[in-house]
Amino acid sequence: MIISAFNIKNRWLPDFKHSAHLFSSIIVLLLLLSSFTYASGSDNVVKIIEAEGLTRMKERELIELIDFQAGDTLNMERLSAGIKRAFRKGLFHDIKAVSEPFEGGIKLKYVVKEIPLIKEITVSGNKIISGKKIKEAFIFKDGDGFIDELLDKAIDDLRSFYQKKGFLYAEASVVVDYDRMSTIVEIHINIKEGQPQRIEKINIPYHLRAYLRLSDGDIFDRDKADRDIKRLRDYFRKHNYINPVIGPYKYVNGELSIPVIPGPRLNVSFKGNTAISTRDLMKELPFIEEEEVTDELIDETADRIRRLYRTKGYRHAEVAAAVSLQEETFDLSFFIFEGKKMYFRKIGFSGNSISHDVLMSVVSVEEERPFNPELLKKSRDSLIIFYNALGYLNVDIADIKESVYDDGIGIDIEFAVNEGHQIKIRGVEISGNIMIGTDIVKSVLKLNDGVPYNVIDIGDARHRILSLYKRFGYLDAGIEVKSRINNDEAFLNFIITENRPSVAGKIIIRGNRKTRDRIIKRELTIEEGDTYSVEEVLRMKQKIYKLGLFSEVEIDILEPDFSESNEGHLVRDMLVTLKESRPGSVEVGIGYGDYEKFRGSLEIRYRNMGGQNRQIVLRAEKSSVDEKYILNYKEPWLFKRPGLPFNAFLKIEKGESVNFDTRELYYKFDKLSFVSEIEIKLSRNLKAGLAYEYSYTDTTEVAPGAIISKEDAGTLGISSVSPSLFYDLRDNPFDPTSGSINGIVLEFASKAYLSEVEFVKGTFQSTWFFPLKKGVVFAVSLKGGLAHAFGDSKELPLMERFFLGGRTTVRGYTNDTLGPKGDNNVPTGGNVFALLNNEFRISVRKGLGVVVFLDGGNVWQLLNDIDHELKYTIGVGLRYRTPVGPVRIDYGYKLNREEGESSGELHFSFGHAF
């Protein structure tokens, strides 16, 4: 037997920014509550809670959100707040709370009706208007919630859309198919277009037909007709017609008539202007915008032109105007006397105790610049603001004296300053603070005794105290500042009203259609019961954005819905509103490199597998020397542990190494490899990684000079483990201007984990960026590597050796040509390398930059062979910044060129060299 029940329906689109709808619904709920009767005493204890009708949310999640648990006493105010909270999820059309006797208490059941999700919208019957345009005109979209009450409006909107497009008798019907649970719908739009209205003839002056998009025989599209009228109006305005009247159009029996009344035309001429072009003077005319020519507007225009001249130094410029109207034409002439251009000569100050140089840095006028009276007014205001900031509250610029030179060109300026008394702060008092100590509050004030009294500084201090309180959860704290000024001394009292601190209540996440709640919640560092910190809320918002899953993120701290406090705290729910980005993307790239020549890439990415932020990427790359196919899987939280991302790669590579100049083949290879890696963030800037790779390589057509060991040709399986450590202090990982990145990577290949060869290899790097001045960065990088084969392996395999030379190592040498060589000058690589790069990066303008670089490096066969000098190159390059990185052209010149080598090399590529 049901002894009591109430329900509330969500009759608005699920957008709770329209709080008026929500408020009115809560009023309805409270009225319903008045009829909700239940027993008192122990009979009012909730024994069990159930939920019915849920498909998109787990039962326990709804129960926790409404915030009743078994054993709680039923409270109507708390229940209403809980149901209101559940509606904020944006999932429910109707929630009904039902209670009935159960084991000496009551059973509480939530019966919900969810807002169905639109799975797909299809269009049929349309022949002329595309389905895409019909869907754009339809108020429902794929993935939206479906509201029954809006269906009639949606159909009416489609009919209106068709009528505007010229289909006066079009009919639209909509069929909504629900799934078995009524939580998913498919919408089928059926269109009967009927015969469209066609234009048999357009009545308009012949010479204006070229400006129409509509023509004889077209369907009478009213939107196009409106745009044509606007286009005609713009045409006449552009040709200086005053207030042209175009339309309204009439359509009768296939004839479209567009009345055109151009109105009077304005002819403007300027006489006597030499310093300012006619084109610039025309910009001062207001007549076309105002759509009239009056004496008042003519006088206003003359004043505008006069002010324009005076801002350019023509202090004595004068403007006169004459106008006549003849046969619907206004002839308007402006006669200009420019006079001499005047310049500021000397700028001085009187009555000032502050140095001349300091005051010159404040004013807007400069010596030897054109005279501009507007700058004098601006300088006066700047001086007053400056003096006020130093505590001179009664300062006045009594006069601005002007002295004109005999030549009539130069003018001296003197600002007569009446400073008045300087007021300084002599005491700061804090009152009203209970929970935060006075010393802590004063530490953020930054207002010491003896500093000048400045209203702006005091306001900033007030905001710093508010920020301090908000950091500790006092979101409702208020601060009043009272000042008492006695002679030249000011005494301040910051009166604090702390109010109660706020703690987090329920966390409500809405708008995530695909992404699971837990993926978002694990980025939230404030949990239920924690004290709010505004700074932490902003950090959480940034963390959610960084997931790359959402185009919009809003976090709102809501007003308390329920008056019950928690040990003196205010409990406020947190509403996280999201708008999901498209999880899938396709990227196509094309480029050119000096070694690979033309190259292209295709990447297909899906960011949110299973709604758990797991990514899968399929990428293909091809150039004249190689092709790659990569399947990549990314798990952001391995074993559900934060800060432990996991990556897995399956790679198929085919390539060849060739001589850059002759295109002579050195070797070919086919490689299949599997790589898995994890990364641990040890601190904000320090991260460690561990990778495992198994590769199977078939090396063929190897030039005899490149062979050092038996493993250099044929098939070879290598299994290796690579730990790494990186310390990154760069301000921007993609285009750094300061900071550094330092790291080391080790690689161990052993038969213990099924490798056919055994070796250990280590590489390190230390790269630094120094901003020298605006737009100039000095970058320096030091890299090195050492490898050693052991066990039965005498030499490192060809594919594992170090090579240098090319656009990212030592520019001026071609790809992989620096270091040991075999027969016929074929590069063989080595076990040791050292690389030094230096670069001045100079930003010029609009994304264009210039670099000057010095590179040095070499490769040696073994550690004992390091007895040769580094090979150095010097060069210059151009950079052009694009959204995907800088396009660069570099030319490197060899400083210690050997016989038979070229003097240098030109390199084309994307991205920085290091």
What would the pLDDT profile of 183-206 be if each residue is shown by its tens digit? Answer: 899 999 999 999 999 999 999 998
Say what the pLDDT of residue 28 is: 42
The pLDDT, as a whole number, for residue 709 is 77
pLDDT at 823: 80
Task: Kindly report the backbone phi and psi dihedral angles of residue 618, in degrees, each rounded to the nearest multiple of 5, phi listed first.
Answer: -115, 120
Nearest to 809 by CA among 746, 765, 842: 765
Closest C-alpha to 47, from 104, 88, 121, 112: 104
Residue 568: both structure tokens together: 């003196």
134/153 Cα distance (integer angstroms): 15
pLDDT at residue 125 in the model: 94
Of the chain, the end-to-end C-alpha distance in Å amounts to 76
Q: Is the backbone of residue 682 left (phi > 0), alpha (psi -120 to 50) or beta?
A: alpha
- pLDDT at residue 382, rounded to an integer: 95
What's the rounded Cα separation, in Å, for the pair 567 and 832?
A: 67
Distance, in Å, from the CA atom of 527 to the CA atom of 504, rounded to the nearest integer, reads 7
Query: Mean pLDDT of successive 10-residue segments in the chain (914 residues)?
Result: 44 40 43 41 81 90 91 89 92 91 91 92 94 94 89 95 94 91 90 94 92 94 95 93 93 94 93 94 92 93 95 94 88 94 95 94 94 94 94 94 92 95 94 93 90 92 95 94 92 94 93 91 92 93 93 93 66 94 88 78 93 94 91 92 90 88 84 95 92 94 81 89 96 89 96 93 96 93 95 86 92 89 85 96 89 95 83 94 81 89 87 85
Looking at residue 563, its pLDDT comes to: 55
- What are the CA-CA distances from residue 110 to residues 7, 54, 80, 496, 871 (Å)? 9, 10, 12, 45, 78
Q: What is the pLDDT of residue 21?
A: 41
CB 627 within 8 Å of CB 655: yes
